Structure 1
Amino acid sequence: MINELKENYGYLFEESLLMEINSVGTFKEIPEGFQLIDIGDYIKSMPLLVSGAVKILREDDKGDELLLYFIERGDTCAMTLSCCMGQKKSEIRAIAETPTKLIMIPIEKMSEWMGKYKSWQNFILQSYHDRMTELLEAIDTIAFLKMDERLFKHLKDKAMVNHNEVIHVTHQQIAFDLHTSRVVISRLLKTLENDGKIELHRNSIKILDL
């Protein structure tokens, strides 16, 4: 685990902190689609991503989901941090977008390292800032973009976190992420294809205009 830590976090954390993370952290490999955190869970550890991507979702009263943002290599989740520090139930669902490797940090180390390591404090504050920026972007997308623009942005975001211009996803899965119907998504995807922005294939989409 220490090699993964140094490769992904060596530029952020001093050697002594890397050694502590290696000592108390738990290394996990999770498959695509694995649910890491569910709404209502008490969070006992915080994830540091080594590779892959995790999508963070909210749920309304009817059980419909809305994608908030993705976290990738070198990231952690501000919503998780907030629940850890306040010992509150999770308000988000975290699902692996791709096969993912991560290190789980016990929550009792969170406040201890905030006072002990300046690099950890900076990392946590920067993580809050980054996730807040992404949340504001998600709000702007919902408030100001038309559905076809939201859809194309979503496809490009998925392509970037997957590091592949071809994404394997069904129309229904996209509809769940964007909190709309499959019929609407199918119609808009066809429009995007006619506009030369994507190519539609069976259970996959190629992004032509990245």
Structure 2
Amino acid sequence: MKFATIKTIPKDTEILREGQYVTVIPIVLDGLIKVFTRHEDKELLLYYIKPNESCIMSFAASLTNVPIKVFATVEENTTAMLFPVDKILGWTKQFPDINTLFFQQYNQRYNELIDIIHQVLFDKMDKRLFKYLQDKKVVTHKNPIKISHRQIANELGTAREVISRVMKKLENEGKLKQQTNGIKIL
């Protein structure tokens, strides 16, 4: 606690940009941070950092002192405990539990990324979209979910028109309802 900074970060704040060097490692206390990659005008959601979790990509980049290869934005107002990178590196030797925390996070994120790769390669868009919406409902604790077709398309790495067409199909199948206040998962 002597070295940590507790910071409240408003929704929609970009906190990491590809190419930046990491100076602090966050542990989310409350809220939600989205970590994603971007290529040209498309994004692909990699994972969310939820309460009591940290960013393994930040940890890995700081260990080797290389620029980060992802973006991170605050999805909901978030309170995070920020630890200076220079302290974390020393603490990994002094306090083995820090290594355990990050190895657990690495394992969790690795499994999530393998799932994303499988979805992109093997699942049709209707299945990917519905799973994405179910996951979004769980991490945000909201139903209906306030999100635009454009945002969904960005996070799934596809076109807005594709999302709109597939949303209509899922609605016709009785899996969701598009309302003025958001998308309700049924």
Q: What's the TM-score once normalised by structure 1's chain length?
A: 0.85
Instruction: Quote the offset at 1:155 in angstroms.
Output: 0.6
- Give the RMSD, CA atoms, in angstroms: 1.1
Q: Work out whether 1:48 is the aligned partner of 2:18.
A: no
Q: Secondary structure at the match of 2:135?
A: helix
Q: Distance in 2 between matches of 1:27 and 1:152?
A: 35
Long gaps (5+) in structure 2? none
Provide the residue aligned with 2:132 in structure 1.
Answer: 154
- Whether 2:57 is the aligned partner of 1:75: answer no
**Alignment partners' CA distance in 2, 1:63 and 1:45:** 28
Which residue in 1 is equivalent to 2:43?
65
Query: How many angstroms does 1:26 deviate by?
Result: 1.1
C-alpha distance in 2, partners of 1:83/1:161? 25
Give the partner amino acid of 2:13: F
Contact 1:47–1:102 under 8 Å retained in 2: yes
Higher RCO by CA contacts (8 Å cutoff, separation 6 or greater): 2
Query: Across the two proteins, how many residue pairs are aligned to each other?
Result: 186
SS in 1 for 2:2: helix
**Correspondence list, 1:12-161, <5 A:** 22-60=1-39, 62-161=40-139
Query: Aligned partners of 1:84 and 1:136: how far apart in 2?
Result: 23
Question: SS state of the match for residue 45, structure 2?
Answer: strand
Q: Which amino acid aligns with 2:122?
A: F
Q: Deviations over 1:44-101 (max 9, x none)?
A: 01110001111111112x2421111111011111111111111111100001111111
Task: Structure 1: state its 5+ residue gaps.
Answer: 1-21
Contact 1:169 1:203 (C-alpha < 8 Å) held by counterparts? no
Q: What's the CA shift for 1:118?
A: 2.3
